[in-house]
A and B are shown apart, each in its own frame.
Chain A
């Protein structure tokens, strides 16, 4: 009974938890409620993945309205895989949030903070699970609006301008997306993604279809911060409260990328996307530019959060390179990096959050010589950094390995060189932090600091451990991502085509 309703509960639980947090209003009960909800959601997403592990699809028709008339929630392996990432990050970040939020936010805002975080979680999970194009827009806006508000809670006044900038760009992106969905509805008369895909086959060469595709891809590219539409991202990540940065960096852009993969492979189909629209001609150069620019700019940042934010722009570029490779291996690499990047950026931003907790800031000059006082925090940062670089034994290595394999399959030597060179650039910016923290000298007049409390260290090290575990035991991630990619890219052929 309750088992049949799991897909709905996944979204409904956080959606109901949000007003509950607002009613509880005081920090600790709201935090407990939010944490409980996030753990339940994680349990549900594991149960869902378990049910579809062999490759089936779960459908949930809302209000018993059969699709394509009603809203259909669809769980296949791809959806379950991304749900697991989002839910796992939420379940790790929420226990961490109590201490960090208490330090960074005034008490009166605590209840609202957890309300917004749960709303954001509900929106993100909904985007992944819904099979209805317009429902996706509504959930996208639920998560986006709560994200804007969460970013504006940052202590620095620049958080306000960052939130405003994100609001403008995010709304343009979402509006582009509904323009595209509107045009598709005009053409096909349906909003259900599967139904849309079935009816689109007969519409080859339609100008409306081309326009709709362009609007949807550009709209989603804005939300996933594809270079050069990433301008909102660095400031939003840099000035949001630490918990929010960690949560968003690990989930929000990934979910937008998931929506893009859904539209490319399940709605429009790879033949149309790559064969008729030649998206790879646009995505590949931009992804390569994003990887390069993001990595280089990261080297010149003075704040740890901004540095990692620019690095995120580069990492999104890697995922897009994987999609642009138009092969099963490329798609596998993109999906792997989606999972792995969530783990490494989650760990890194949580470590930075622990630094902010003790030091009040995360500029490079603040952390000089801090490794002696906060060894565990800095060790977590170093392992996360190694994973970001792609050192063997960490998850970063796995996804870069598959990305290079995909590039080699297509004979794209410049891409291989790009991935290797930008990994070296990552060494540079991670090393700057390590050098400052381990070999720098703490100013004599600086206040003494202690190691971050266990409530912060345990979640951080959980993600660090995941970085190492999935870097060595690759069976789950590589197997799953490979199966999903093989299922989605059935029409692609193993080698893909030359651009």
Chain B
């Protein structure tokens, strides 16, 4: 298959690596969460892409349609989105508490304040 046919997957892995890079490389706690979100969302796209059936319609019973997209990945991702929201909320809540305790959300400044790690 030519790579145009796998356009979705190219985008998915580009986003995945972008998000992963942001999580690893950034020292700002909020930016890390943003990167984590991009990383997780790329996985959602991966699942949705694999559920697509060429020429298929939405998985709803409609007269005259016989080819449907696979609904299972959609359902799985609905769950994963909920998990992602919970993770983001918890991460941001922790960032707020860290800001209150340290006065900063930059990782190196936090480490500088607790040097006896």
Given contacts A160-B101, A168-B91, 19 further A-B contacts (CB under 8 A): A141-B86, A148-B94, A152-B94, A157-B101, A158-B117, A161-B98, A164-B29, A164-B98, A167-B90, A167-B94, A168-B32, A168-B36, A172-B36, A172-B39, A178-B43, A178-B80, A182-B73, A191-B76, A235-B117
Query: Which A172-197 residues sit within 8 Å CB-CB of chain B?
Result: 172, 175, 178-179, 182, 185-186, 191
Chain A residues lying within 8 Å of B95, measured Cβ to Cβ, are: 164
A42 beta carbon closer than 8 Å to chain B:
no
B83 touches A138 (CB 8 A): yes
Chain B residues lying within 8 Å of A164, measured Cβ to Cβ, are: 29, 91, 94-95, 98
**Distance A288 CA – B80 CA, assembled complex (angstroms):** 35
User: When the two chains form the complex, which single residue of A134, A161, A163 contacts B110, counting CB atoms closer than 8 Å?
Assistant: A161
A160 touches B90 (CB 8 A): no
A171 touches B40 (CB 8 A): yes
Map CB proximity to A onto B78-99 as digits: 1 under 8 Å, 0 otherwise.
0110010011001100110110
B36 touches A171 (CB 8 A): yes
* CB-CB nearest in chain B for A234: B117
B15 beta carbon closer than 8 Å to chain A:
no
B43 touches A175 (CB 8 A): yes
* CB-CB nearest in chain A for B107: A161
A172 touches B86 (CB 8 A): no
B98 touches A160 (CB 8 A): yes
Within the complex, what minimum Cβ distance (angstroms) separates A323 from chain B?
27
A41 beta carbon closer than 8 Å to chain B:
no
**Distance A141 CA – B79 CA, assembled complex (angstroms):** 11
Chain A residues lying within 8 Å of B80, measured Cβ to Cβ, are: 137, 178
A149 beta carbon closer than 8 Å to chain B:
yes
29 contacts between A and B (CB under 8 A): A137-B80, A137-B83, A141-B87, A145-B83, A145-B87, A145-B90, A148-B94, A149-B90, A158-B114, A160-B94, A160-B97, A160-B98, A160-B101, A161-B98, A161-B110, A161-B114, A164-B91, A164-B98, A167-B91, A168-B32, A171-B40, A171-B87, A172-B36, A175-B43, A179-B16, A179-B46, A185-B73, A191-B76, A235-B117
Query: Which B67-81 residues sit within 8 Å CB-CB of chain A?
Result: 73, 76, 79-80
B83 touches A141 (CB 8 A): yes
Range for the number of chain A residues in contact with chain B: 20 to 34
Query: Which secondary structure dominates where chain B touches chain A?
Result: helix
User: When the two chains form the complex, which single residue of B40, B76, B86, B116 contacts A134, counting CB atoms closer than 8 Å?
Assistant: B76
**Distance A134 CA – B76 CA, assembled complex (angstroms):** 8
Chain A residues lying within 8 Å of B40, measured Cβ to Cβ, are: 171, 175
Chain B residues lying within 8 Å of A179, measured Cβ to Cβ, are: 16, 43, 46
Chain B residues lying within 8 Å of A152, measured Cβ to Cβ, are: 94, 97
**Distance A148 CA – B97 CA, assembled complex (angstroms):** 13
Within the complex, what minimum Cβ distance (angstroms) separates B47 from chain A?
5
Map CB proximity to B onto A227-255 as digits: 1 under 8 Å, 0 otherwise.
00000000100000000000000000000
* CB-CB nearest in chain B for A170: B87
Chain B residues lying within 8 Å of A138, measured Cβ to Cβ, are: 79, 83
**Distance A145 CA – B85 CA, assembled complex (angstroms):** 11
Q: In the A-B complex, list the 8 residue pairs whose CB atoms are closest, starting with the nearest.
A: A157-B101, A141-B83, A164-B94, A186-B50, A160-B98, A160-B97, A171-B87, A167-B91
Query: Which A117-134 residues sit within 8 Å CB-CB of chain B?
Result: 134
* CB-CB nearest in chain B for A141: B83
A175 touches B101 (CB 8 A): no
* CB-CB nearest in chain B for A169: B23
**Distance A164 CA – B47 CA, assembled complex (angstroms):** 27
User: When the two chains form the complex, which single residue of A137, A157, A168 contacts B102, counting CB atoms closer than 8 Å?
Assistant: A157
A182 touches B47 (CB 8 A): yes
* CB-CB nearest in chain A for B110: A161
Within the complex, what minimum Cβ distance (angstroms) separates A424 from chain B?
27
Chain B residues lying within 8 Å of A168, measured Cβ to Cβ, are: 23, 32, 36, 91
Within the complex, what minimum Cβ distance (angstroms) separates A240 from chain B?
13
**Distance A185 CA – B76 CA, assembled complex (angstroms):** 11
Within the complex, what minimum Cβ distance (angstroms) separates A175 from chain B?
6
User: When the two chains form the complex, which single residue of A158, A167, A182, A191 contacts B50, counting CB atoms closer than 8 Å?
Assistant: A182
Query: Which B19-63 residues sit within 8 Å CB-CB of chain A?
Result: 20, 23, 29, 32, 36, 39-40, 43, 46-47, 50
Chain B residues lying within 8 Å of A160, measured Cβ to Cβ, are: 94, 97-98, 101
B50 touches A145 (CB 8 A): no
**Distance A178 CA – B29 CA, assembled complex (angstroms):** 24
Within the complex, what minimum Cβ distance (angstroms) separates A84 from chain B?
28
* CB-CB nearest in chain A for B36: A171
**Distance A186 CA – B72 CA, assembled complex (angstroms):** 11
* CB-CB nearest in chain B for A135: B79
A175 touches B94 (CB 8 A): no
Chain B residues lying within 8 Å of A161, measured Cβ to Cβ, are: 98, 110, 114
* CB-CB nearest in chain A for B79: A138
Q: Count chain A CB atoms within 10 A of each CB in B39, B73, B83, B95 and give the residue with the most.
A: B83
**Distance A179 CA – B19 CA, assembled complex (angstroms):** 14
Chain A residues lying within 8 Å of B90, measured Cβ to Cβ, are: 145, 148-149, 167
* CB-CB nearest in chain B for A151: B94
Within the complex, what minimum Cβ distance (angstroms) separates A106 from chain B?
14
Within the complex, what minimum Cβ distance (angstroms) separates A322 from chain B?
31
Chain A residues lying within 8 Å of B97, measured Cβ to Cβ, are: 152, 160
A172 touches B20 (CB 8 A): yes
**Distance A374 CA – B95 CA, assembled complex (angstroms):** 39
Chain A residues lying within 8 Å of B110, measured Cβ to Cβ, are: 161
**Distance A437 CA – B107 CA, assembled complex (angstroms):** 36
